[in-house]
Amino acid sequence: MKLSLFHEPWWLSAVSDDRAEEVVVESGGRIVGRLPYVTVTWGPLRALRMPPLTHALGPVVEAGEGKPQTRLNKRLSLVRALIDKLPPHAYFHQHLDPGLDDGLAVADGLAFQERAFQVSSQYTFEIDCRRSLQELRDALYLKTRQHIRKSEQEYHVRTVGSPNTFMGFYNSNLRLMGRKSLVDFSCFPAVHAECAKRNFGEILGAFDSSGAPAAMTYLVWGHGVMYYLLSTRRVDAHDHGAVSLLLWSAIERAHDAGLVLDLDGVYSSGTVRFLGNFGGRIKTRLVIRRASTPYRALQSLKRLYSRHESYNFT
């Protein structure tokens, strides 16, 4: 079975504090299909989700050899079997990795759709860093190349060894912007330690002449792909130059290791404009959801309560 980094048992253990579970399908005494998840409960309601810091998951199956149609039918059969083995739940939510099994994994959406799950799309940029550095540099948007050259004079890039340094910088930037973090950092030290042990992860920082950080990013890699997992920049930075420099540094590292770089998530037109300047190609991830009526009612009540609490009655 072709895995991603996020399907590795050690990754799932680290990001879930050993709470990750999975359903499996066996054939001839061998596991030929896996679907990992973590369980979150709200009273009697159970949700099956991806663990923190895990940006894509979904089924991994062994579709065997043969013609593409034969392998596709085998894959669909195995994914249906995995879905049918899931425990009762009020909510399910996962993003599928389109790079598994030579692209056949995108068809997993058909199996989920047949089982009454909602299937939608999320987009990401991928840069094939196995090309020459000159090709990669030429693929950059002209102004992006100029920003990187300018930033190389203003900042120096180095590895940050402490996960606490990254977390502190990330959270302080959010506080200064008046925003709350959507990232669950409780498992970050364990993930960083496990990745560092295997040489599968690195925190990069761009520092100005005074030694103060201007931006940081966390990269993880495995099974041929590097992920631009987390990134943050200093609030008073006037442009994205330090972030552009870190992204170019990630491209260089992915090139040296012979990897594809996944920029991991396009959520706004601004993100599209920024990430699209680095010469990647857009790729589609399928987002799988299913919510029961009681779960939808609970979420509606939570939204109403949040709006009520946001009013100022003084």
Q: pLDDT per residue over 87-103, tens digit each?
A: 999 999 999 987 776 66
Q: What one-letter code names the amino acid at 292? A: S
In a domain, 100, yes or no: yes
In a domain, 240, yes or no: yes
pTM: 0.91
Q: Which residues contact 250 (CB under 8 A, 6 or more apart)?
A: 204, 217, 219, 226, 228, 261
In a domain, 15, yes or no: yes
Quickly list H helices, the chain. 9-16, 68-85, 108-114, 133-138, 142-154, 163-176, 188-198, 241-257, 269-275, 293-310
**Residues 135 and 239 both lie in one domain:** yes
Per-residue pLDDT tens over the stretch 67-80:
888 989 999 999 99
**Residues 154 and 60 both lie in one domain:** no
Contact 25, 78 (CB under 8 A): yes
In a domain, 278, yes or no: no
Give the range of the structural domain holding residue 306, as residue numbers without chain letter: 5-124+285-310
**Residues 66 and 87 both lie in one domain:** yes
CATH number of the domain that 76 lies in? 3.40.630
Q: Average pLDDT for residues 143-156, to the nearest whole number?
A: 94
**Residues 105 and 63 both lie in one domain:** yes
Per-residue pLDDT tens over the stretch 24-52:
999 999 999 999 999 999 888 999 999 99
**Residues 233 and 207 both lie in one domain:** yes
**Residues 199 and 81 both lie in one domain:** no
* pLDDT, position 98: 75
In a domain, 160, yes or no: yes
**Residues 249 and 140 both lie in one domain:** yes
**Residues 150 and 197 both lie in one domain:** yes
**Residues 119 and 47 both lie in one domain:** yes
Our count of domains for the chain comes to: 2
In a domain, 272, yes or no: no
For residues 8 and 225, give the distance between their C-alpha atoms in angstroms, rounded to a whole number: 13
* pLDDT, position 273: 84
**Residues 226 and 145 both lie in one domain:** yes
Pairing state between β 260-262 and 225-233: parallel
In a domain, 251, yes or no: yes
**Residues 306 and 203 both lie in one domain:** no
In a domain, 268, yes or no: no
